[in-house]
């Protein structure tokens, strides 16, 4: 046995049995029901209580929102099923170990660090969401849409306590994360549905035309927000989870699937969470916008507060508070789990438990700052734009390595620690399209797909140019 294989066995023993650096064995594979509960729970979750209202602040019309979300979420499901799940079942590796085989250990360290930190920021936004519910009995001041820093000691204490609980659940591994989602998701889905129905009643909606009129032809965006059109909604909803599907992060989840058809279970998350729940949350905010408090803020040129806890409490009382807390958990749990895997790829000799606790601690610190939740539309677009092109490396190699005449998993085969082709492909595609977005004021989600395609194509070209053709390069 080589020294490399001895080290791998030692790392596996320390890591804690989550198969971080080996294919998931047949005996540990899971049926589609495990993924259905997880995706329904993760995507009918804390983010939805924020994103739904933020669409209203962006001045969307009824057609843009309702039809745009139908199309955008369908494109997301197709991405998960035919890209992520397909490759995950074939290789059964985490994203991080797969990237290491292609990129080399040195290059992938930077990627894993960025990936883990961005996941922690997203999980932090969900801790923020849960805190707005837990804080209600304590008369806590809620964060405003423009707030960036903690607004008092009560906020800090509540966020830290919630972060500690979520981190402990996530540290127990995928089985515990999956079970928690299955237990909580039916409650959360029911709460969103109840919120939507109650809000419609509070708005006095009696037929479909009155429902449509809530958004109507759209409006001017709130102060500090940008105007969303039909294509903003379609592209943003498709790439809201770009890092997970075309960015291949959910290789780490679907490596446990018995077959690629489990990828269809993401539809539960998209159409229950990213469709029904977003619209229900928008209805809650529409009710609040009619209140004297919100009208006063608007008259003063300020954007009314988007605080999920009070919005849900106003509709369905204590059940709403509980639902918001659980919703934050079911998003933060798998997100912290993913972040922990990213950090473990950097520190492979540290156990799964401790890297997840580290990830949870970073997420909790991020949760103290409401800006991540209040600017969620922009943050999610940036996070997908940064990480998605790396997924193109895996996709293009998987489907086109033979046609391009390159060696699959080149860094592992050639025993190199830094794959120049990967870095050049990502840097050029990221730099070019980020410049276009900033210089010409192009919505960032609009350039995510072009950046992804360019990165994949450049990777094949640079691999051929730098490392030669096929086995001749080894």
* 140 vs 129: CA distance, rounded Å: 13
What is the residue-level pLDDT of the chain in tens, covering all 474 positions?
A: 332 232 333 233 333 456 767 777 777 888 888 888 778 767 877 778 888 888 888 999 999 999 999 999 999 999 999 999 999 999 999 888 899 899 998 888 888 888 889 889 988 988 988 898 888 888 888 887 777 788 889 999 999 999 998 888 777 766 666 666 667 778 888 999 999 999 999 999 999 999 999 999 988 888 778 899 999 999 999 999 998 899 998 998 899 899 999 999 999 989 998 999 999 999 999 999 988 888 888 888 877 888 888 888 888 998 888 888 888 777 777 788 778 877 887 887 888 788 888 999 999 999 999 888 878 888 888 989 999 999 999 999 999 999 999 999 999 999 999 999 999 999 999 999 999 999 999 999 999 999 999 999 999 999 999 987 554 545
12-27: b (≥16 Cβ within 10 Å) or e: beebbebbbbeebeee
* 212 vs 316: CA distance, rounded Å: 23
Contact 192, 52 (CB under 8 A): no
**389-427: pLDDT as tens digits:** 999 999 999 999 999 999 999 999 999 999 999 999 999
**Residue 469 main-chain phi, psi, to 5 deg:** -100, 125
Residue 157's domain spans which residues? Answer: 29-378
The gap from C-alpha 234 to its chain's centroid, in whole angstroms, comes to 17
Number of residues assigned to the chain: 474
Does residue 469 belong to any structural domain of this protein? no
**138-158: pLDDT as tens digits:** 888 888 777 778 888 999 999
Instruction: Give the CA distances from residue 48 to residues 150, 240, 326, 439, in Å, rounded to whole numbers and listed in that order.
Output: 22, 11, 12, 31
| Predicted pLDDT at 203 | 94
* 235 vs 254: CA distance, rounded Å: 24
Pair of tokens at residue 238: 């498709």
Contact 164, 339 (CB under 8 A): no
Give 291-304 as a DSSP string.
SHHHHHHHHTT-PP
| Predicted pLDDT at 198 | 95
Place of tokens 């870095």: 423
| Predicted pLDDT at 336 | 84
Does residue 441 belong to any structural domain of this protein? no
* 239 vs 234: CA distance, rounded Å: 9
CATH classification at residue 225: 1.10.4160.10
Give 193-242 as a DSSP string.
HHHHHHHHHHTT--SHHHHHHTTTT--PPPTT-PPP-HHHHHHHHHHTTT
* 68 vs 234: CA distance, rounded Å: 5
Task: Break the chain down into helix, strand, coil percent, rounded to 5.
Answer: 75, 0, 25
In this structure, the number of other CB atoms found within 10 A of the CB of residue 5 comes to: 9
Count of structural domains, the chain: 1
Does residue 421 belong to any structural domain of this protein? no
**Nearest Cα to Cα of residue 50 among 308, 235, 287, 274:** 308
Residues in Cβ contact with 27 at an 8 Å cutoff, skipping those fewer than 6 apart: none
Contact 118, 359 (CB under 8 A): no
**Nearest Cα to Cα of residue 66 among 191, 189, 237, 269:** 237
Does residue 274 belong to any structural domain of this protein? yes
Does residue 295 belong to any structural domain of this protein? yes
Q: Indicate the Cα dihedral angle 101, 102, 105, 107, nearest 10°.
A: -160
Does residue 160 belong to any structural domain of this protein? yes
Contact 24, 347 (CB under 8 A): no
* 71 vs 75: CA distance, rounded Å: 6
Does residue 351 belong to any structural domain of this protein? yes
Pair of tokens at residue 172: 């127990």
Contact 250, 96 (CB under 8 A): no
| Predicted pLDDT at 1 | 35
* 358 vs 361: CA distance, rounded Å: 5
Does residue 208 belong to any structural domain of this protein? yes
């Amino acid at each position: 046995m080589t020294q490399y294989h001895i080290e791998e066995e030692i790392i596996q023993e320390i890591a804690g049995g989550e198969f971080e650096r080996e294919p998931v064995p047949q005996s540990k594979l899971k049926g589609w029901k495990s993924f259905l509960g997880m995706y329904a729970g993760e995507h009918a979750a804390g983010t939805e209580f924020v994103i739904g209202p933020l669409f209203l602040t962006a001045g969307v019309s009824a057609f843009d929102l309702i039809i745009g979300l139908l199309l955008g979420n369908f494109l997301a499901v197709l991405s998960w099923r035919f890209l992520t799940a397909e490759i995950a079942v074939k290789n059964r590796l985490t994203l991080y170990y797969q990237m290491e085989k292609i990129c080399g250990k040195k290059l992938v360290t930077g990627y894993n660090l960025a990936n883990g930190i961005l996941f922690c920021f997203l999980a932090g936004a969900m801790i923020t969401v849960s805190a707005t519910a837990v804080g209600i009995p304590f008369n806590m001041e809620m964060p405003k849409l423009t707030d960036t820093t903690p607004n008092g000691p009560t906020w800090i204490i509540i966020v830290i306590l919630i972060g500690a609980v979520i981190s402990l659940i996530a540290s127990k591994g995928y089985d515990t994360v999956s079970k928690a989602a299955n237990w909580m998701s039916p409650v959360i889905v029911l709460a969103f549905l109840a919120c939507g129905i109650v809000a419609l009643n509070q708005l006095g909606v009696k037929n479909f035309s009155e429902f449509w009129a809530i958004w109507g032809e759209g409006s001017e965006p709130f102060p500090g927000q940008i105007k969303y059109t039909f294509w903003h909604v379609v592209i943003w909803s498709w790439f809201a989870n770009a890092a997970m599907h075309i960015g291949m992060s959910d290789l780490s989840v679907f490596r446990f699937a018995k077959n690629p058809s489990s990828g269809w279970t993401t539809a539960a998350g998209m159409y229950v969470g990213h469709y029904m729940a977003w619209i229900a949350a928008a209805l809650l905010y529409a009710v609040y916008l009619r209140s004297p408090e919100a009208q006063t803020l608007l008259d003063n040129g300020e954007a009314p507060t988007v605080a999920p806890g009070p919005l849900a409490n106003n509709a369905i009382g204590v059940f709403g508070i509980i639902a918001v807390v659980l919703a934050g958990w079911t998003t933060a749990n798998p997100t912290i789990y993913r972040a922990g895997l990213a950090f473990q790829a950097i520190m492979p000799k540290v156990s799964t438990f401790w890297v997840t606790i580290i990830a949870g601690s970073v997420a909790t610190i991020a949760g103290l700052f409401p800006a991540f939740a209040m600017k969620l539309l922009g943050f999610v677009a940036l996070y997908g734009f940064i990480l998605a092109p790396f997924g193109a490396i895996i996709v293009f190699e998987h489907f086109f390595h033979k046609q391009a005449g390159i060696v699959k998993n080149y860094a592992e085969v050639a025993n190199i620690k830094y794959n120049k082709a990967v870095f050049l492909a990502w840097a050029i595609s990221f730099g070019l399209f980020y410049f276009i977005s900033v210089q010409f004021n192009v919505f960032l989600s609009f350039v995510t797909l072009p950046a992804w395609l360019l990165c994949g194509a450049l990777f094949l070209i640079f691999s051929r140019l730098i490392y030669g053709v096929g086995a001749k390069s080894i």
